[in-house]
A and B are shown apart, each in its own frame.
Chain A
Amino acid sequence: MAIASYVETQSRPAAFWGLLAAGGLFLLAAFAAFLHFEHSGHVVTGMDNQIVWGMPHVFAVFLIVAASGVLNVASIGSVFGKPVYKARAPLSGLLALAMMAGGLAVLAADLGRPDRLIVAMTHFNFKSIFALNMMFYSGFFAIVAAYLVTMMDRSLNGYSKVIGFLAFFWRLALTTATGSIFGFLVARTAYGSALLAPMFIIYSFAYGLAAFLIVQGAMYAWNGLVLDARILARMKNLLAVFVGAALYFTAVMHLTSLYFAKQDAYERFLLLDGGVYTAAFWLGQVAVGGLLPLALIFLPGATQARVIAAAVLVVLGGLAQMFVTIVGGQAFPLEIFPGYAVTSSFQDGIVNGYSPVAGEFALGFGGIALAFLITVVAVRVLRFLPQDDFAALKAED
């Protein structure tokens, strides 16, 4: 019996309802924030005509990017045929759907006219990378759902490899498109780089695997199981590779940007004098999201707790990265007249301030809560918990 099988999760009804209640509270807070913003307008948020995308986008884009990345675990199993990952493919697909739903919900709730969501789904400007993204998101749901069915229904198992391939390429295209949302903004110094697309893909690998490790760790702990040390070693090393690659892309992005003389000012802002953005970059994205996790993973004697701590740091670093990319890029003054000092009533020529209000965080955490609730319910009613017999799998390798 070499094929990975699954164990039922332990019942613990009180704890289960407790989790639902906790997630529900966050969701409720997000709903209250949504109603408040919708009723009073965005004037009650910290966003304005200069910082048009704030905290909700930081969370939403993070969730969407991580959702596409978490599917990698399944892809490594189905597409590249690694049994350890195959046993984890259903959980990976589930998390992909849950996080995508969470991210899109936040994105929709932050629209100026969320009541017109149907317009967004019926009117497409095919030249817009944003419209393309919407199609990729919808397709992602359909393809990953079909993928899950083929993996979980034994009579359809034969199709799972083909759909797995499709899901793999779809998610690569999706993240390319998500990165291109920023890559196509030619006017702003912080964006307008083709590098953003592959960089977002590598970020998604890291954030997705980190999210997967956290959820997997929680599920094992819930059921009193211990992850096989060799599986842990494989997954932590993979996380390290992704985190290292993310750091590499970040370095290349800024080095090439420094090479273009006209972008000196922006790089100086981000790397030296940008205040909160400089701190978020060096401390958040680079130290917490990159160097510390690498240290936790590679210093001798890595335990499961330490690997999960590393994964949590990668997620925190990911949020910091999105903050730097999205808000930092807007905070830097848009240069309309190069070579001139400018002043106006519309904050021309100054670094734009941004003080997010609690409701914006509530919306963001609401997205995480939605993903959390979908996951908690799904792993309870369906078999998502991987159970490995590593020795047997090894023999099959």
Chain B
Amino acid sequence: MSENNIDRRKFLAAAAAGAGFVAIAPGIRLVEIAAAKPDNEPVTSKVRWGMLIDTTRCQSGCTECVSACGKENGLSEVKKPRTDAQWIRKIDLKELKTGRALSLPMMCQHCANPPCVDVCPTGASFKRADGIVLVDRHICIGCRYCMMACPYKARSFVHEPHTDQNPEVPRGQGCVEGCTLCVHRVDRGGTPACVEACAAAGHNAMLFGDLNDPGSAIAKRVREVKTTQVRADLKLDLGVRYEGI
């Protein structure tokens, strides 16, 4: 009889401890990924996600970022360069006057004043409060006006049916799409797949972070070195900056 009582006490104590852990654990986890946005909170303009690309570290011929993007977002390998979606591409540049050569990845620049959002008739092209420019695949009618408007050719049109989608990155024939800055990863506190792949390859040419946070690595770097916004004459206030152009 008393043994039973002791067992019961042990059981209750263990249960309480377990319940307590379960209750507190998410908080502990939250502290750990403080930068991540809890699912039940809207994105905030306190954050401005951005990327800094160091062209002096970017290797010509290296396409790690491109492959990683394709794998992460369920894009097929580019077999038809005219019609296949290319959310990120490598551009090799050669200065006409001096012959100076450099290589860099080009993707959606996540403008603060995005022309694609201005021109979209239905509002499918939109900018989140944290600066990420996306396409709402539910209301994109496939008019392709955003592709006409984008100064960076960052958008692709889905030209044919496709299978093997990544459930986190739904895509559909007849809609326009582009780099999402791996928003599904960023919202969980991660970094875009291209940035991760560039670091894994040992180049570390891509730096991702919150431009609004003075303590972030990207904000510090942008303060310290001269960075360039591509086609700065258009005054679009880009989220993606380049170093060494």
Residues of A within 8 A of B (CB): 40-43, 48-50, 52-53, 111-114, 116-117, 119-120, 123-125, 127-131, 134, 181, 184-188, 330, 334, 336-337, 339-348
Contact = CB atoms under 8 A, between A and B. Distances in A.
A112 B120 contact: no
Contacts of A49: 82-83, 85-86, 147, 153, 156-157, 159
A348 B97 CA distance: 19
Interface string B173-185: 1111000000000
Interface stretch (B39-47, B135-143, B186-194, B217-225): B135-143
Contact of A43 (B83, B149, B151): B83
B35 interface: no
Interface in B150-207: 150-153, 156-161, 172-176
Contacts of A112: 140-144, 157-158, 173-176
Contacts of A348: 89, 91, 106, 153
A41 B121 contact: no
Contacts of A340: 93-96
A113 B159 contact: no
10 contacts: A41-B160, A48-B159, A125-B122, A128-B118, A130-B143, A187-B231, A339-B96, A340-B94, A345-B89, A346-B153
Given A41-B161, A340-B94, A125 B78 contact: no
Given A117-B141, A337-B230, A348-B89, 12 more contacts: A42-B174, A43-B80, A116-B141, A119-B122, A124-B121, A124-B123, A130-B119, A185-B115, A334-B153, A336-B230, A339-B97, A347-B82
A119 B137 CA distance: 12
Main secondary structure of the interface of B (DSSP, over half): loop
B31 interface: no
Given A125-B120, A346-B81, A346-B86, A116 B139 contact: yes
Nearest to B162: A41
B233 to A, nearest CB: 9
Contact of B78 (A134, A184, A343, A345): A345
Interface string B111-129: 0000101111111100000
Nearest to A338: B231
B148 A50 contact: no
B121 A111 contact: no
B147 to A, nearest CB: 5
A195 to B, nearest CB: 18
A109 to B, nearest CB: 12
Contacts of A181: 145
Contacts of B145: 128, 130, 181
Main secondary structure of the interface of A (DSSP, over half): loop
Interface string B89-107: 1111111110000000010
B234 interface: yes
Contacts of B106: 336, 344, 348
Contacts of B149: 184-185, 187
A331 B60 CA distance: 27
Contact of B142 (A111, A130, A341): A111
A43 B229 CA distance: 33
A343 B104 CA distance: 11
B177 to A, nearest CB: 11
Contacts of B121: 120, 124-125, 128, 130-131, 134
A43 B118 CA distance: 27
Nearest to A108: B141
A342 B97 contact: no
Contact of B141 (A43, A113, A184): A113
Contact of B115 (A42, A48, A187, A337): A187
A340 B245 CA distance: 10
Contacts of B96: 339-341
B173 A41 contact: yes
A131 B122 contact: yes
A38 B223 CA distance: 50
B81 A345 contact: yes
B122 A120 contact: yes
Contact of B120 (A128, A185, A186): A128
Given A41-B160, A50-B82, A113-B174, A344 B122 contact: no
B22 to A, nearest CB: 43
Report the 6 A-B pairs with minimum CB-CB distance, sorted nearest first. A112-B142, A112-B174, A187-B151, A41-B160, A48-B82, A130-B121
A185 B156 CA distance: 17
A347 B147 CA distance: 14
A41 B158 contact: yes
A347 B179 CA distance: 18
B89 to A, nearest CB: 5
A330 B161 CA distance: 25
Contacts of B86: 49, 345-346
B90 to A, nearest CB: 6
A182 to B, nearest CB: 8
A347 B81 contact: yes
B12 to A, nearest CB: 56
Nearest to B124: A123
B224 to A, nearest CB: 24
A41 B234 CA distance: 33
Contacts of B139: 116, 119, 123
Contact of B147 (A43, A52, A186, A343): A52
B36 to A, nearest CB: 30
Contacts of A188: 148
Contacts of A130: 119-121, 143, 145
A42 B173 CA distance: 9
B80 A344 contact: no
Contact of A113 (B81, B89, B140, B148): B140
B89 A344 contact: yes
B169 to A, nearest CB: 18
